[in-house]
Every structure is written in C-alpha cells, then in structure tokens.
Structure 1
Amino acid sequence: MEARPGDDAGDETASITVRYWASARAAAGVETDALPVEGPLTLADVVRRSAALHPGTRLPGVLEACSVLVGDQPVKSRRPDDVLVRPGQTVEFLPPFAGG
C-alpha cells in the first residue's frame, strides 16, 4: 500500500535509549529514558538532554563521573563532542563501582 500525503506512515520519530546504572539510576529515579531525535546527536547533547529530563536532581554531577558505553563500545577518553550517537542506539551511564 502506498503512502499518501497526510498519511502518518514513515513519520515516526526515532529515539536514543539512555540507560542509567547504580547511582545514576538512583539520581535519575528511572532505569531508562528515551530521547526523541530526528538524527544523530553528540554524546555531549545526550548528556545535556538526559540531565534536563531530571531537573533538581544530582544527575548532572553523577553523569560527569560515569563511564559511558555507546552501543556496546566504551567511549573511554574520547571527547563527548566528538562522539556521535545515532537514532536507535543505546547510551549507558556506568558510575564508578566500589568494591574489591
């Protein structure tokens, strides 16, 4: 069936899934967020938008201390402005874990 003008077919907004672990989850108050996007975002934009979803929390500070995975790839020491996150990908924030 062909899409016609005015049909909603193909107009779905994609999203980036943000998953919080441990103290990041406690700070956000949720396990995950879905960020609606129309295209790729930098990791810095994902961090800003994630923090903005939870105003008045300690989440921004917690996110700064986290290790980050984009998909299953660790970001390591790459600058957040240089890391692109595409629609459909998952960003995971992993706070430092104590233990031994």
Structure 2
Amino acid sequence: MGPEGERVARVETGITVRYWAAARAAAGIGAETFASPLTLDDLRARILERHPGSDRLPAVLAVCSVLVDGRQPGTPAGEQVLEAGMTVEFLPPFAGG
C-alpha cells in the first residue's frame, strides 16, 4: 500500500511516568511505564512497590505537583483514571522565584 493508503497507528503501551529533579534522584530513573488503567492513587502505590529500596521516594512523591498530559489532574485528583498513552509527571517543589 502506498503512503496515501497507509494508516499510522498510535502505539499505546501503558502510562508513561516521568520524574523530575528530586523525584528522579529518589526513583533512580527518569521515566518508566506502568500498565493501565490505574487511578492516580493506584499509580503512586505501584511506583512505591516498584522502588522498595528508596527511602526518600515516599516523602518526595508526597510533596510533588502532578501533571497528567501536561495539565493538573481533575478533582479529586487521586481518583482520576489514567489510560494507556497518558503521561504523568511528578515535579517536586523547585527553589527560586
């Protein structure tokens, strides 16, 4: 089939999680993928299960701002359902002004 007849499928393998600054240091990685669907609260629990050796990660995640696909999650945030193809970012407080 030529380019005109080709369809490009978006491959959605799961929920992409990105860690920034102190969250990245505590997790020991910059990004990882989790199976979907999950709520945001379930995702946090799975992150901690996946990184049992990090003493700092629970405290860091507790103070992080969270973005889902570049936006703040809806209210109540922990109950938001995350689907394959979504990106969740954990951003710790940054110093400075």
Extract structure 1 runs of 4+ deviating beyond 6 A.
none
Question: What TM-score comes out, normalization by structure 1 length?
Answer: 0.77
What secondary structure is seen at the aligned counterpart in 1 of 2:88?
strand
* Structure 2 residues without counterparts, runs of 5 or longer: 1-10
CA distance in structure 1 between the partners assigned to 2:74 and 2:19 by the alignment: 17
Structure number with higher strand proportion:
1
Percent sequence identity over aligned pairs:
51
Question: What TM-score comes out, normalization by structure 2 length?
Answer: 0.79
What RMSD, in angstroms, separates the aligned Cα atoms of the two structures? 1.9
Q: Does the 8 Å contact 2:23/2:90 carry over to 1?
A: yes
Q: Aligned residue pairs: how many?
A: 86
Instruction: Name the structure 2 match of 1:49.
Output: 46
The 1:13–1:75 alpha-carbon spacing in structure 2 relative to 1, beyond 3 Å, is: closer
* Structure 1 residues without counterparts, runs of 5 or longer: 1-11
Does residue 60 in structure 1 map to residue 88 in structure 2? Answer: no
Q: Does the 8 Å contact 2:39/2:80 carry over to 1?
A: yes
